[in-house]
Amino acid sequence: MDHRWGGIISRIFPGDSLISIKRFSKGVINNTYDVKLKKRNVVLRVYPTDLWKVEKEEYLYGLIRNKTDVPVPEVIAKGNDYIVLSRIIGKSISVDNKLLVEKAGELLAKLHSIKFPYYGWIIKSKINPKFEKWGDFVLYDLNLKLGKMPFKHNELKDRVKKIIASNKYLLDVETEPCLLHKDYHSSHILASGGKINGIIDLEWAMAGHNELDLVKSCMWMFDKKPEMEKLFFKGYKKYGNISKEFKNRRKLYKIITSLSSLSFSYECRNKKWCIYNFDKLKGELDEYN
Ordered by where they begin, the domains of the chain are 3-86 (3.30.200.20), 91-288 (3.90.1200.10)
Do 188 and 201 contact (CB within 8 A), yes or no? yes
Residue-wise pLDDT tens digits, 103-141: 999 999 999 999 999 999 999 999 999 999 999 999 999
For residue 289, the model assigns a pLDDT of 65
- Mean pLDDT over 6-14 rounds to 94
For residue 26, the model assigns a pLDDT of 66
CA distance 225 to 151: 36
- Mean pLDDT over 92-105 rounds to 97
Measured in whole angstroms, the distance separating CA 151 from the mean position of its chain's CA atoms is: 28
The torsion defined by the Cα of 166, 171, 173 and 177, in degrees rounded to 10, comes to -170
- Mean pLDDT over 219-231 rounds to 95
Do 32 and 24 contact (CB within 8 A), yes or no? yes
The H or E element containing residue 177 is none
Which of 147-151, 171-175, 275-279, 280-284 is least confident? Answer: 147-151
Is the pLDDT confidence value at 30 over 90?
no
Q: How confident is the model at residue 206 (pLDDT cuts 50, 70, 90)?
A: very high
pLDDT over 70, % of the chain: 98
pLDDT over 90, % of the chain: 89
Residue-wise pLDDT tens digits, 37-74: 999 999 999 998 899 999 999 999 999 999 999 999 99
Give the CA distances from residue 272 to residues 145, 254, 260, 266, in Å, rounded to whole numbers and listed in that order. 19, 20, 16, 10
